[in-house]
Amino acid sequence: MRKTFDPITLEILWRRLISIVDEADSAVSRTAFSSLLRDAHDYTCMFTDRKGRELAQGTFATPGQSGAMALGIKNLVNKLPPETYKPGDIFITNDPWALAGHLNDVCLISPIFYKGQLTAFTACVFHHSDIGGRVSSDNHDVFEEGLFIPLVKLYDAGVLNQSVIDMIRWNVRTPDEVIGDIRSQIAANHVCGEKICQMLNENELDGLDDLADQITDRTEKSMREQIEKIPDGIYRAQGVVEQMKGKEDVVIKAAVEVKGSDIVVDLDGSSPQVNWGGNVVYNFTYAYVFMAIKSMFDPDIPNNDGCARPIKLKAPEGSVVNCRFPAAVAARLVIGHFLTEIIYRALSVVVPDRVIASSGGTPAQMNVFYGKRNDGRPWHSVIIRGGGMGASSLSDGNYVYIFPANGANTPVEIFESDTPLIVEKRELLIDSGGPGKMKGGLGQREVFRIPDDQYAPIPPINLGIQAGRHLHPPEGLFGGRPGARARFLVNEEPGNPYGLTQLKPGDVVTIDAAGGGGYGNPLERDPEMVERDVIEGYVSLERAKEDYGVVIDPKTSKVDMEATRKLRERIGG
């Protein structure tokens, strides 16, 4: 018999489901090995009902992983007939096409049984710092990028498949870390499964089906109500993403059709897949299209299968946004992160107050440093970096965040204790925020030195980079101007951010993350806000004058209102 929950009970149980995943999430931060997980939180935990419909995800989930997983888990768990699942099974895969779009994202899936019945699936994707292969964005196919683990059983009815562990161990550079992190994944799924059963038991429920129906239906309804408010139509935009030297820009075309409470995003006309690692699988493209729409229409509602129902995506097969196996995909964020801002741009005409200009943290920057210390010990450290967020109609862009992805930085003191390198600088980049009535967020500069004294590591010191915005800066909106570009310099000379950079002791690497785009005409910015920016050193005196038409007395740091009025009149035309 179908059980209906009154609104109060539903709220109570719903909240419980989310706290269950958050418990699993915090088990990860306590047990994980690599700093990319423990400090930067590059992982996502979630669980689905027995049909694979996502019910809850961790509060700090990364949108790219969670969106791609929601889609991927549903497909994967329905591949096998339900009766083939056994208690104690744990599946493992890093198939980029099945899940989160590159080999580093390894997923563990556990079927959960309650009273002998298949009830749920818990899953987690961790970004493993090391998955073997050649660590670079310019590989030509996925075979160069590391170990590919198809969907296999890591545990069969509770019995470890040691061959899988051995296979992984011999294909990566830092096996202890990789295996340690897989153990942390097992723990996360275990915690989640236990708590689900406990919840069912305490509430005298036989399964999740009715609860799942009602939670996802309510969520869908809420999303639809918001979408319905905007006028029907097809809204178009395109994004241009730079490639390495000598290659034409990638173009992504989006037609966003709003029809009643449905949204269909069609990426027809986007560039064909490329012969380097920037290719995006369908799931990952979907994740950032979804991120845009959810953040615009219903940011607060907990994420589950219901949020996604009104959103359909069409992406031509073989294009850069729906690449075919065996395309290289390691650096999929370099292109994939752009989808969110392209959707914002398309819909900015109808919901100008719910979007932000382009962000310097789109794409996130990822640096993989690895090599050997002077005593021969290997190290392998991955750090991620954000830039300035785009401004909105109401506020300046936040400084140095990863957007639309999410994650934290790695403390300099942790990085220096994990590696032999010296970080000379991690600071805000003055004048990098795109001018506008609302200013884009500032980007940041980080400088690394390879020691050449008794601490010098054994050359070469390897640096793999995933980044963008070196050529095309983050654009502004509604008259706002672009933020500053990203830069990658080795000993003050421009380096190649797509290749594998080999460094030697004494080298200095400078990396700038881009600033966010401005929103609205900078000549309309409140002169007092410009004054404050100058006093704090976010904007220089010169740029205050050139970009904002604000004249500030260098001695008193006060705005000269009269001179400002005249200057703005003159340059404003």
Partner 1 sequence: MPDKFYRLGCDIGGTFTDFVLLNDQTGEVKIYKCLTTPQDPSDAVEQGIREMEIHTPGFVEKLDEVIHGTTLVINSIIERKGAKTGLITTKGFRDVLEIGRGIRYAPYDVFAEFPKPLIPRRLRLEVDERIRSDGSVLKPLSREEARRAVRTLLDLGVESIAVCLINSFENPTHEWMLKEIIEEEAPGISVSISYQVLPQIKEYERTSTTVTNAYVKPLTGRYLSRLAGRLGSIGFRGKLFIMLSSGGVTSVETAAQFPVRIIESGPTAAVIAGQYYGKLFNISEIFCFDMGGTTAKSCLIQKGVAGVVPTFEVGRVQRFMKGSGLTIQVPVVDLMEIGAGGGSIARVSRLGTLQVGPESSGADPGPICYGRGGTDPCVTDADLLLGYLDPNYFLGGEMKLDKEAARRGVEEKVAKPLGVSFLQAIWGIHDLINETMAAAAKTHIAEKGGNPKIVTIVAFGGAGPVHGYGLAKKLGAPRLLVPPNAGVGSALGFFTAPRSFDLLRSHKVALAKADFDEIEEIFQELEAEAAKILKRETTEEDAYPEQGSDAIQEIKFERSLDMRFIGQGAETNVPISERDFSKIKKDEVRRRFDEIYEKLYGRTYPESEVEFINFKVRASLPVRLLQLPRLEKKKRSPGQATKGRRQAYSPMAGDFIPYTVYDRYRLSPGTKFQGPAIIEERESTVIVGEDASVSVDEFGFLWIDLVGNADLRSLQA
Evaluate whether 1 touches 145 at the Cβ level (below 8 Å).
Answer: no
Kindly state the smallest distance separating residue 328's Cβ from partner 1, in Å.
28
* Residue 432: φ, ψ to 5°: -90, -15
Which is nearer to partner 1, 153 or 218 (by Cβ)? 218
C-alpha 568/C-alpha 573 separation (Å) is 8
For residue 195 the two structure tokens come to 């708590």
C-alpha 245/C-alpha 237 separation (Å) is 25
Which is nearer to partner 1, 130 or 266 (by Cβ)? 130
**To which H or E segment does residue 12 belong?**
helix 7-31
Which is nearer to partner 1, 128 or 253 (by Cβ)? 128
Which is nearer to partner 1, 322 or 409 (by Cβ)? 409
Q: Quick one: how far is CA 184 from the chain centroid?
A: 21
Which is nearer to partner 1, 191 or 254 (by Cβ)? 191
Evaluate whether 238 touches 252 at the Cβ level (below 8 Å).
Answer: yes
Kindly state the smallest distance separating residue 236's Cβ from partner 1, in Å.
22
What pairs with residue 39 in β-bridges? none
Q: At what angle do helices 282-297 and 338-347 cross, to 10 degrees?
A: 40
Kindly state the smallest distance separating residue 417's Cβ from partner 1, in Å.
4
Pairing of the two strands 152-156 and 105-114: unpaired
Q: Which residue has the tokens 């470890």?
A: 160
Kindly state the smallest distance separating residue 171's Cβ from partner 1, in Å.
18
C-alpha 182/C-alpha 129 separation (Å) is 12
Which is nearer to partner 1, 86 or 183 (by Cβ)? 183
Which is nearer to partner 1, 77 or 438 (by Cβ)? 438
User: Using alpha carbons only, how large is the chain's radius of gyration in Å?
Assistant: 24
Which is nearer to partner 1, 100 or 327 (by Cβ)? 100
Q: Which residues contact residue 316 at a Cβ distance below 8 angstroms, ignoring those fewer than 6 apart?
A: 267, 268, 269, 270, 322
Kindly state the smallest distance separating residue 406's Cβ from partner 1, in Å.
5
Kindly state the smallest distance separating residue 278's Cβ from partner 1, in Å.
23
Kindly state the smallest distance separating residue 321's Cβ from partner 1, in Å.
21
Kindly state the smallest distance separating residue 301's Cβ from partner 1, in Å.
7
Q: At what angle do helices 175-202 and 7-31 cross, to 10 degrees?
A: 160
Q: At what angle do helices 282-297 and 209-228 cross, to 10 degrees?
A: 70
